[in-house]
Copies of this chain bind each other. A is one copy, B any other.
Amino acid sequence: MFAEYHGWIVESQTHADPQSGRFFMRQETLAESLPFGINKLRQQFEPLAQQFDMKYTITDSSVLKRVVILVSKQTHCLDDLLYRWRSGEMSFDLKAVISNHEDARGFVDWHRVPFHHVPMSADSQETGFRQIERIIDQTGAETLVLARFMRILPAWLCEKFPARILNIHHSFLPSFAGSNPYRQAHERGVKYVGATCHYATEKLDEGPIIEQDAFRTNHTDTVEELICAGRDIEKAVLARGLRFHLEDRVLLNSNKTVVFD
């Protein structure tokens, strides 16, 4: 169909999954190369999609995704994303930063991004998450980024944003799920330590993996040194995962991802 209209296909990727028999495709077309706009495109595409029984999304890359970042005391991932956002390296509409601590306020303020402090003690979790939901709703955000947010999201919140909440876990999943992964890795004596960006689901640390990476370690590294070195890999993995998500490169295949990078 694009060939018919001589559309300039910037990128096109497909994947045929022999197990599920499903076929995945992503196509990026130069808007100016088509003789009509995105609404006409949607109209023309719909019958084709029905004919081949496709599930599809057509997005306009000039419309930025609305993002809310959640963070706790560790701000390295937030700071990294703020740099990429303000420098224009990554394009998204940053609606707000929410935290259960005050640490990040100063730096977020400097960026003129709304900062919301939502205190969450052990017995105010549910209240806190309801407040977080209201803030997100007010911003109209459709993507949440858990940039080292150290609270477990309730199932109802995960379900409200399916495949739209990105979490960074500080281990090479499925190794060392749960708390204190760097301590676990140190105790096991592994030779590489990693990080995982995945979609948050109600099952903690078990959502579809978007991106991972690891760095070499050895006997000389203490837990503290792993934590420190780990920050760099967490930043890199979350940034790459988020970029894939923002550019609509991530497609779900059951509990796995197809990433057209």
Interface residues of chain A, those whose CB is within 8 Å of chain B, are 8-18, 23, 75-76, 79-80, 83, 87, 89, 110, 172-176, 188-192, 194, 208-214, 218-220, 222, 228, 231-232, 236, 239, 253, 255-259, 261
Closest chain B residue to A13 by CB distance? B13
Q: Which residues of B contact A220 (CB under 8 A)?
A: 11, 15
Partner pick for A211 among B18, B175, B191, CB 8 A cutoff:
B191
How many angstroms between the C-alpha atoms of A44 and B52 in the bound complex?
24
Q: Which residues of B contact A228 (CB under 8 A)?
A: 89
How many angstroms between the C-alpha atoms of A210 and B188 in the bound complex?
11
Are B14 and A257 in contact (CB-based, < 8 A)?
no
Q: Which residues of B contact A192 (CB under 8 A)?
A: 172, 194, 212-214
Are B16 and A9 in contact (CB-based, < 8 A)?
yes
| A188/B211 contact (C-beta < 8 A), A76-B87, A83-B79 known | no
17 residue pairs A–B, Cβ–Cβ below 8 Å: A75-B87, A79-B87, A80-B83, A89-B231, A110-B110, A172-B172, A172-B175, A188-B256, A189-B208, A189-B209, A189-B253, A191-B211, A191-B213, A192-B194, A192-B213, A218-B261, A219-B259
How many angstroms between the C-alpha atoms of A196 and B241 in the bound complex?
26
Q: Which residues of B contact A172 (CB under 8 A)?
A: 172, 175, 192
Per CB-CB distance, the 3 closest pairs between chain A and chain B, nearest first, are A189-B256, A191-B212, A219-B258
Q: Which residues of B contact A191 (CB under 8 A)?
A: 209-213
Q: Which residues of B contact A255 (CB under 8 A)?
A: 189
How many angstroms between the C-alpha atoms of A83 and B104 in the bound complex?
12
